[in-house]
Amino acid sequence: MIQANNISKQFDDIVAISGIDLTIEDGQVFGLVGTNGAGKSTFLRMAAGVLKPDRGTIMIDGRPVFENPDVKREIFYISDDAAFFSNSTPLEMATFYSKVYQGYNLARFESLMNSFGLNKKRKINTFSKGMKKQLSVILGICANTRYMYCDETFDGLDPVMRQAVKSLMAGDMSSRKFTPVIASHNLRELEDICDTVGLLHKGGILLSRNLDDAKADVHKLQCVFRDDESRERIMKSLCVLTEESRGRLCTMTIRGQEDEISEALRAESPVFMEILPLSLEEIFISETGVEGYDIKKIIC
C-alpha cells in the first residue's frame, strides 16, 4: 500500500505539490488525473523516490521510499519522456534492467517484443514515439515489480496498442501482486481500466474515489416526461446534479439510491425512462460540483 502523508514540493517559487494526503491500495489500478502542470509527474517522481518531498512522507507498507533501495526495487517508473541509454537497443536495456531487478524475466521480454512486432536489436533512437511507449511498458512489465508508475503512458499509442497495454496490465494483476499507478490528463483514457481515480488540480487532490462506490449513489437517466409540470416536480424532489434537454428527451444525472429514483420517476408516469451507464467524466462532474469546480474546465 502506498501512503502519502501531507507531502509538498516546491521548485523555486513554483508550488508543484501542496499538502497531499493519498492512499493507494494494492491490487487496484489507480488513475491520477489532472491537467498539464497539475503536479502529476512530480507526485510520481516522489512516489518513486526520485525526488524528496519538502514536507511530509511517502511510504510503501510503512517504509519510506526516498533513499531506500529495498523499496525502490519494488517500483518500476516510466516517465513521460522515457530515457534510454544512448545508441542502445531494447535487448541491451532489458539486460541492464535484469541486473537491477532480481526477478527480471528476459524470456518474457523477448516473447512480448515479438508479440508487439518490435525488433529487440534495432536502435531505440530509430523508434517512433508510440514504439518507445510500447517498449517502456514491456521493459516495465518484465521487471515483475509490485508497483509500476506510468506517466502519460497511453499518450502516443494508437487505439489497438492502447488496448493491448491495458490487457497486459490486467493479465499481470490477475496472476501476481501488481499495482499500476497511471497518470494522465485525459479522463477517457482511464475510463475502462481504473478501479480508483484521484483528481489532482493545482498541486492538491480534489478527491479520490473508488469508481464502484461512486457509481452506487449517482445515476444517469433519460426520460421523456408527459409535460413540463412533471419534469419540474422531479427537478425539485430529487437531487439532480446535471440536466440537459434535446427536444422532449431529458438526460439527467441524479444523486441518490437507484430504487428511490426509479420510484419517483415512475410515479410521474413518463412516456419513456431508461437508466444509462455513467462515464468517468460524469462521475467527476457529480463529485467536483460539490467542491465548486467545473470539471470540464479542469480536465479535457
pLDDT of residue 89: 97
Q: Is the pLDDT of residue 182 over 90?
A: yes
- pLDDT (0 to 100) of residue 293: 52
38: pLDDT confidence band, cut at 50, 70 and 90?
Answer: confident
DSSP alpha helix (H) spans, 154-294: 159-175, 211-216, 228-237, 258-266, 280-291
Q: What angle in degrees, to the nearest 10, is found between the helix axes of 228-237 and 258-266?
A: 150
Average pLDDT in the 203-208 region? 83
pLDDT cut 90: percent of the chain above it? 65
Q: Which has the minimum average pLDDT: 31-35, 130-134, 165-169, 269-273?
A: 31-35
Which of 143-147, 149-153, 197-201 is predicted with the least confidence, judged by mean pLDDT? 197-201
pLDDT for residue 291 is more than 60: no
User: What pLDDT sits at residue 96?
Assistant: 96
**CA–CA distance, 197 with 190 (Å, rounded to integer):** 9
Pairing state between β 63-64 and 55-60: antiparallel
pTM of the entire predicted model:
0.83
Residues 6+ apart with CB under 8 A from 69: none
Domains of the chain: 2-211 (3.40.50.300), 217-298 (3.30.70.120)
pLDDT for the residue numbered 294: 58
pLDDT, tens digit, for every residue of 69-124? 999 999 999 998 878 999 999 999 999 999 999 999 999 999 999 999 999 999 99
Kind of pairing between the strands at 147-151 and 14-24? unpaired
Question: What is the reported pLDDT for 88?
Answer: 96
**Chain length of the chain:** 300
Confidence of residue 213 (pLDDT cuts 50, 70, 90): confident
Residues 16, 9: contact at Cβ < 8 Å?
yes
Average pLDDT of the segment spanning 117-134: 94
Residue 189 has a pLDDT of 78
Sheet holding 196-201, edge to edge: 75-78, 147-151, 179-184, 30-33, 196-201, 204-210
Percent of the chain with pLDDT strictly greater than 70: 95
DSSP bridge pairs for 14:
11
pLDDT of residue 212: 81
pLDDT tops 60 at residue 292: no
